[in-house]
Amino acid sequence: MIPQNKLDEELTADFEEVVQPSRTYKLDLERKRIVGYCDGREAIEQAIYKALSTERYDHLIYTWNYGAEIGKLFGQPIPFVYSELKRLITEALTQDDRIDSVDAFSFSHVKNKVHVQFTAHTTAGEIEITKEVVVS
């Protein structure tokens, strides 16, 4: 016999979803230092930079959902890199709940470097990003 609660209809979960602030440490990439705090759009731009600069599965401190698998593109043909880079960037960035979508990709390459430009649609508006990937 399964116990039944007479109050099943009355039991409801009353809760509110609270959006956490995106305040984080501000990185000075030129001097390789932390210089205060940033929030909002600047924090999202920094999160995009960090996610695309971190190789997925390489660091135990991060979950397996964090980072991008860009390192596996090394040595691959340029047309393959274009198609995979789009998928890998989208996959890496949409893990962040502040980033809704990623689109408007454009690619170019010079020798062994692929340049990609794209737009990230975030809670703070559209952010234009440029990334350079060395493929050989």
Domain spans of the chain, in order of start = 24-58+66-134
State mean pLDDT over 99-112.
93
pLDDT at position 132:
92
**Is the confidence at residue 102, as pLDDT, over 90?**
yes
Arch. (CATH architecture) of 24-58+66-134: Roll (3.10)
What's the mean per-residue pLDDT of the chain? 88
pLDDT at position 135:
86
pLDDT at position 93:
94
Checking DSSP bridges between strand 113-122 and strand 125-134, what pairing results, if any? antiparallel
What DSSP element (H or E) covers 134?
strand 125-134
pLDDT at position 89:
95
33: β partners: 28
**Is the confidence at residue 94, as pLDDT, over 80?**
yes
